[in-house]
Structure 1
């Protein structure tokens, strides 16, 4: 197990985002000093990852021990493939620019947010995928190849940058405080249709659990390694959303045949996928296990806390 020192100075790209806010809290609780990087006024360093020159000017004169890439261009759940365009670009050019900025600040470690969909969208059967399974296979359609290429490139840049200890965390689908909230108005108005098919399951991870994994990777992650981060209970998209509705006392969502959701191309692809992952490596090397072993338990905790 690799142990990095405590009390690090950390630059967190995406600190004002939903996941970023949880990461900042987890790192601060662990004794690290966090500086946010992003376009909003809430960040200690204001810059756009897509603007290389402005980013390098913004970090000039600063020193950080670790840089974390948790930036996203998503402001709401993506429904169509084109909704992922800005995030795909951020995974490609934005990551390259942030790696360059990490070098400029003298950082030693670079931790990147990745996703389990980098194993490929679609049907993966019942065997949990491990980090030894192929990551970044060719997408079966041009839009899916754009999405997977972004994840493939982001990890390649993370691992292949000289003088940086690159670590990637392959997260399941996020839910929890700040994330699930966006679904509640849609459910209240019954504007979130769900597929009738219950045969497909996906990995999920509660946002505070995901943030704890980032803190663990900062301190104990092994350079050049990827880690799957998900809870212990894969669950279909329909089952998860029905749990959300039940937990918060909202109307049961309407269901439609999966084929009817094809106009929502990205959502259709996600809901049609079947994917399980093993997180044994994260438990073994990072000492990380989810506090919420299922999304049902995580949602109940969210309701109790009033968040």
Structure 2
């Protein structure tokens, strides 16, 4: 990057937001954090249109990054996603208005690969150019898919805005994996039997780096899959965390045991291979580790005070 920007970051206080802030700062950009908490540079709620527009009045930003979420814990039931669904629709619409007030040229939005659908895609490799995003028709998850669909439509289709959507895999990494480690130490989480199912993953640090690259690079109006090279089953990921951190080995359970938690059940029974070729070619992004097992070992090995 040869041009520094003022970047308004919605969701700066979240786990992903902190990695985005680090990546943007290292690239020389100035980050203006937007959030509801006392530590935000700009205090506003994305769901409050009038309050948001008042909060940004008089400010200027070259780029807006939308990484806000209403989640405070891993979603287990469909209703756990409802506030985030609403944020993706109403909150994004309000933030796009705020982008105009700020004079922003570009908006970069967090999206996710589950927008392709919560199902088993078999051996098919999903790409941005050939596979529909957030297809309608699955009543059980339509509310979630609609949120992802509308968010991308707003960001990519607003006149006068260079919109880019980053479709992330499941996150792991510093600030996120530690919760799972503590649960494994307390023998509070099992590993589901994957039965050949795999999911795409991405290290949070790599995700933050993708956002920084999208501030300057990429093609406006495009979506990019931000995933590592080695899809890994949900259960296999849990076992990889246990192996990397030396926790007790988790019990393996069948997926039907997840049915009391319907959103989680849909996630762990989804299987998808997702290509990152477009991100490599157009953003210049590549994962720091080929897969999450390698990334987790590196993360565990970098812990302060770890014995060799």
> Is this a same-fold pair by TM over 0.5?
yes
Whether the aligned pair in 2 keeps the contact of 1:198 and 1:239 (CA below 8 Å) is no
Distance 1:131 1:59, change over 3 A: same
| Post-superposition offset of 1:160 | 1.4
1:60 alignment counterpart: 57
Give the distance between the partners of 1:273 and 1:163, measured in 2 at CA: 37
Match 2:256 to one of 249, 256, 259: 259
| Post-superposition offset of 1:41 | 1.9
Match 2:150 to one of 145, 149, 153: 153
Give the distance between the partners of 2:34 and 2:97, measured in 1 at CA: 14
1:24-63 paired onto structure 2 within 5 Å: 24-63=21-60
For the residue of structure 1 that corresponds to 2:126, the secondary structure is: coil
Match 1:9 to one of 1, 6, 10: 6
Give the distance between the partners of 2:189 and 2:78, measured in 1 at CA: 17
Give the distance between the partners of 2:289 and 2:194, measured in 1 at CA: 26
Q: What stretches of structure 2 of length at least 5 have no aligned partner? A: none
Whether the aligned pair in 1 keeps the contact of 2:191 and 2:239 (CA below 8 Å) is no
For the residue of structure 1 that corresponds to 2:271, the secondary structure is: coil
Match 1:135 to one of 127, 133, 136: 133
Give the distance between the partners of 2:30 and 2:195, measured in 1 at CA: 44
Give the distance between the partners of 1:53 and 1:105, measured in 2 at CA: 14
Give the distance between the partners of 2:165 and 2:153, measured in 1 at CA: 10
1:40-189 paired onto structure 2 within 5 Å: 40-132=37-129, 133-142=131-140, 144-189=141-186
| Post-superposition offset of 1:94 | 0.5
Q: Deviations over 1:180-218 (max 9, x none)?
A: 111122212222123223310000000000111111111
Aligned length in residues: 303
| Post-superposition offset of 1:174 | 0.3
Match 1:278 to one of 262, 275, 279: 275
For the residue of structure 1 that corresponds to 2:110, the secondary structure is: strand
Whether the aligned pair in 1 keeps the contact of 2:191 and 2:236 (CA below 8 Å) is no
RMSD: 1.2
For the residue of structure 1 that corresponds to 2:159, the secondary structure is: coil
> Which 4+ residue blocks in structure 1 deviate beyond 3 angstroms?
none
Q: What stretches of structure 1 of length at least 5 have no aligned partner? A: none
| Post-superposition offset of 1:303 | 1.1
